[in-house]
Every structure is written in structure tokens, then in C-alpha cells.
Amino acid sequence: MNIAFLGAAEQVTGSCYLLKVGNYKILIDCGMKQGSDAKDGQGFEFNPRDIDYVFLTHSHIDHSGLLPLLTKQGFEGKIYLTAASAELCKIMLADSAYIQEMEAAWNNMKKKRAGANEIEPLYTQEDAKKTLNYFEVCEYDKVYSINSTVDLCFIDAGHLLGSASLEIWLKEKD
């Protein structure tokens, strides 16, 4: 097993951890960095196509906000989350995408006048909608066998509706 801390290290936004066990790569959260200095550097330190699963602890954007970018860049695995987190993500990811589109349009209006190259939004509302197809809703206190190597259980964290602490059991060869 190997775990890499890819976000929310030395800060509180952009939660993202990469767990490698056997041949599987699992993201725990896929959060957007927030704040005025966070516009740049919203990419990934890995190829999204290589990720097998995402385990989402809750719907706050600093934990879920880059899921549409992940799917836009080729992720095709399952995103495990609670029912309430799924419902909140439907709203929050669409809203985040709308903000991305509006900010890009505003910046492009200024760039066009200055003769500069236009930019694309980080992701679109269509990208956010596509992300919902990968959701795999889970109940609290039930153990899910993700594959022959990983079992997962969501425990109510009480942080916000749908939030969970994760219990993850890993089976590795000696």
C-alpha cells in the first residue's frame, strides 16, 4: 500500500489523497483548491484515466469540486459516496460549473479586447452532469466489497448532510 497526499497538505482546501493498493489506484476526495490564489494549479499530479475509483467523504467543493475535471480528462471508474452527498453534489457541481463558465466568459471578454488568447472554463455544466453517471450511492454502516482487494464502509461523520468517515480494508499479498 502507498498513500500520497496531493491536496489539503499545509492548507485546508483541495482535499485529495491517492491510495495505491496492488494494481488499483483510488482517490479519496477530489477537491478544488479555493481562495484568490487558487485559480492556477487546479490540475492533477496523475493521469485521471489511471484512477480506478473515487471515495468521496462529503460534497463540499474543497472535497468534490474537481470531479468534473477528473471525468473530463478521462476518468471512467466509480465514485462511491452517500445518497445525501450525491444529491448535494448534483447541485453544487452544477453551480461550480456555472461559475467556471461565467468567469471564463468574463475573462474572455477582457482578453478579446486586449487581443489576448481566450481561456476555457476548468469544466462545464455538461462535464458536471456527466460526472453524475459515475456515482455509486452507498449506505452508512454497510461494508461494500469494491473488488477482491478493497472493502469500504461509510460511517456518519456528522459534519454535514451526507458526510462520512471512511473505513477501508485492504488485502495485499505478502
- In this predicted structure, the answer to whether residue 37 has a pLDDT above a threshold of 60 is no
Give the pLDDT of residue 7. 81
- In this predicted structure, the answer to whether residue 10 has a pLDDT above a threshold of 70 is no
Give the pLDDT of residue 13. 79
- In this predicted structure, the answer to whether residue 8 has a pLDDT above a threshold of 90 is no
- In this predicted structure, the answer to whether residue 58 has a pLDDT above a threshold of 80 is yes
Question: By the 8 A CB rule, do 26 and 150 touch?
Answer: yes
Give the pLDDT of residue 99. 95
Mean pLDDT for all residues in the chain? 92
Residues sharing a CB contact under 8 Å with residue 2, sequence separation 6 or more, in sequence order: 19, 20, 21
What cell was used for 174? 505478502
Q: Across the strands, what pairs with 150?
A: 170
What cell was used for 119? 481561456
What cell was used for 139? 449506505
Pairing, β 150-156 against β 164-170: antiparallel
User: Sheet harboring 150-156: ordered strands across?
Assistant: 143-145, 150-156, 164-170
Q: What is the 3-state secondary structure (H, E, C) of the chain?
A: CEEEEEECCCCCCCCEEEEEECCEEEEECCCCCCCCCCCCCCCCCCCHHHCCEEECCCCCHHHHCCHHHHHHCCCCCEEEEEHHHHHHHHHHHHHHHHHHHHHHHHHHHHHHHHCCCCCCCCCCHHHHHHHHHHEEEECECCEEECCCCEEEEEEECCCCCCCEEEEEEECCCC
Q: What is the pLDDT of residues 59-105, one digit of tens each?
A: 999 999 999 999 999 999 999 999 999 999 999 999 999 999 999 99
